[in-house]
A and B are shown apart, each in its own frame.
Chain A
Amino acid sequence: MINLTLMEELSIPMEADLVTPDNLHDKSNDEIRRQTVYWGNKKKTIGDFFQVEGEKSDRITIAGNCAKVKLIGHKMSFGAVHVKGNAGYNTGSYMTGGRITIDGNTADYLGAMMEGGLIHLKGNAGHFVGGAYKGETAGMTGGEIVVEGNAGHETGGFMRRGLIGIGGDTGDFAGIFMLAGTIVVLGRAGERVGANMRRGSIILMKQTRLLPSFFQNGVVSTPAVEMILARLRTLGMNPPSAGRYVRHTGDANTIARGEILVREGNRNRVEA
């Protein structure tokens, strides 16, 4: 286990894209201390900010409030990172494997452009969870993101494959431009869910106002949903047991192969 402890809280953000098991697993503590991080417009080393302890390992534990530490676990492909506080922007971006656990909150772009692996966030996430950077046409292409708290706008935007589970509420435009994949929202989703989605599934547990370009077409009770919820249960979430879902297809302005499943129980259409 490699233990990194942030010595004092930062006000100027730091880009720590080398803090990954890929980069640190075969290095001694002295070598780790010499690794480059960018702090504001200056080039610094990990040793300037973190206390480094432990022995060679593919498991990294980061303690302290790292809300201003960006790019933790950037492009990581194996091992485990455990952040014991908050994490900053772009945590787990371009990640291809391994596991990131965050006890606190994160800023925007959690798991952006992710290709594989697992991110487990116990607090709240910012905007663009599993999203695409501006100019990209596909965001998350694989892996799983579990957020126990709330998430911001455009959760799972441009998502192409993978699973996102949100325990709390989301902002507007969840699953915008979604190409495929699955988003489960256990709390209340914001407005305009699935705008411009082509394929993929968005599973909502609570009513929300859907766009007029989604058409209700039946009530389903499918084992596929139960399997997804069972998977979320193994990841530590608490989805409801088996139930029936009202199915809406859309977005009618695209090829309309996407579906929004809304758990039955309440009123199903909120007037526009």
Chain B
Amino acid sequence: MVALQLGGAPAATLGEVKNRADLVIFWGSNPAESHPRHFTRYSGAAKGRMNPKGRKDRYIVLVDIRPTPSAKYADEFIQIKPGHDFEVLTVMRMLASGKLPDARSVGGVEVQTLERLVSRCKDARMGVLFFGQGITETRGKHQNSLVIYQFGKEMSLYSKFLTLPMRGHYNVVGSGNTMCWQTGYPFAVNFGRGYPQFNPGEFSVVDLLKRKEPDAALIVAAEPMDHLPYEAARHLENIPTIVLDPRETLTTRMATVVIPVKHAGISVEGTAYRMDHIPIKMRAVLDSPWPKDDEPLERIIQRVKELRKEKAAV
């Protein structure tokens, strides 16, 4: 997300990928296990307008630190040393503009192999680089994503080239998009002074919790106890928490107050965003006795306003 702001992303929807892409690179991502339908519906076996033969019309490259189960679906597997993604991509950017590094190999990969990959990118009708948490969550973090975006932009000088992140959780794009049009910022927004302030690191959840700054937490449809680092999650046990969730999770078990709500997309209709920022309308298929997410929130806001008024009157 931060990288997006720094570099901009050459992106398109997955429909474009399905219909046009003849070169697909997965970097630090294991779609066979983490996005099982991605491969069959968009990036691998799917037949598209310019890919009538489906899988046979695509060349698939997998770049990772170990041969994952996705490797057997790929035409080429490139294994790099852990934590060397930034260096490898830097060299690929150099090779793209005709510069050779001093070294013969970088990050455990022969420069010749990278040269072949770069020339394949240049010759592609449309190349797509999907990158996953294997690169965004390792040493370098957002700078790794940034170097991918930069590479994609430079490749666009030669061919149509896209760089798309393999977003992890259901509707994570939706929360970013909604925050953006509501506040102007995608995440790490602080309303403490009455207007939105944005500063990742200062106002992002993990850092706030690690510094033990919050004295209460309202958690909506998230599972911090499972997903956040241990020391950050531990602080949630020491403060009052309100959790809105349809299921029983680790977070609801430690919460002070749990408000069960309807499962979005199953018991309540609404919009969810696909990983390529396409809003998808979801219908309600099952009925549920619980309220919708926004009902308890509206009531909390109303009650807080009433309490404020009472306090001001005193």
A positions within 8 Å CB-CB of B: 11-13, 15, 38, 40-41, 68, 70, 89-90, 107-109, 127-128, 133-135, 172-173, 176, 191-192, 195-196, 211-213, 215-216, 251-253, 269, 271-272
Interface of B, helix, strand, loop or mixed by DSSP: loop
Q: Which residues of A sit under 8 angstroms from B143, Cβ to Cβ?
A: 173, 176, 192, 195
User: Given A11-B213, A40-B192, A134-B2, do A271 and B103 touch, yes or no (CB 8 Å)?
Assistant: yes
B182 within 8 Å of A by Cβ? no
Q: Counting CB contacts under 8 A, is B97 at the interface?
A: yes
**Is the C-beta of B201 less than 8 angstroms from some C-beta in chain A?**
yes
Q: Is the CB of A12 within 8 A of B94?
A: no
| 6 cross-chain CB contacts under 8 A | A11-B212, A13-B213, A107-B202, A128-B201, A172-B139, A252-B94
Check B140–A253 contact: CB distance below 8 A. no
Q: 10 nearest interchain CB pairs?
A: A212-B101, A41-B192, A253-B93, A272-B106, A213-B90, A252-B99, A89-B202, A38-B193, A212-B91, A272-B103
The interface size bin for chain B is: 20 to 34
**Which A residues lie within 8 Å of B139 (CB)?**
172, 191
Q: Which of B136-174 contact A (CB under 8 A)?
A: 139-140, 143, 147, 150
Complex formed: what's the CA distance from A135 to B180 in Å?
Answer: 14
- B: which residues have CB within 8 A of A? 2, 5-6, 84, 86-87, 90-91, 93-94, 97, 99, 101-103, 105-107, 139-140, 143, 147, 150, 191-193, 198-202, 212-213, 215
Name the residue in B106, B139, B150, B202 with the highest tally of chain A Cβ atoms < 10 Å from its Cβ.
Answer: B202
Report the Cα distance A178→B107, complex, angstroms.
24
How far, in whole Å, are A251 and B143 apart by their CA atoms in the complex?
15
When chains A and B are docked, how far (Å) is the Cα of A195 from the Cα of B140?
11
Q: A108-B201, A133-B199, A271-B103 are in contact. Are A15 and B5 (CB under 8 A)?
A: no
User: Whole-angstrom distance between the alpha carbons of A172 and B93 in the complex?
Assistant: 20
Q: Which residues of B contact A172 (CB under 8 A)?
A: 139-140
List of B residues within 8 angstroms of A15 by Cβ: 192-193
CB distance from A217 to the nearest CB of B (A): 11
Task: Tell me the bound Cα distance from A90 to B191 in angstroms.
Answer: 17
**A195 contacts B86, CB within 8 Å?**
yes
Q: Which residue of A lies closest to B151 (CB)?
A: A253
Q: Is the CB of A211 within 8 A of B213?
A: no
**How many angstroms from the CA of A89 to the CA of B199 in the assembled complex?**
11
Query: What's the minimum C-beta distance from B139 to chain A, rounded to whole angstroms?
Result: 7
Contact A38 B202 (CB under 8 A): no
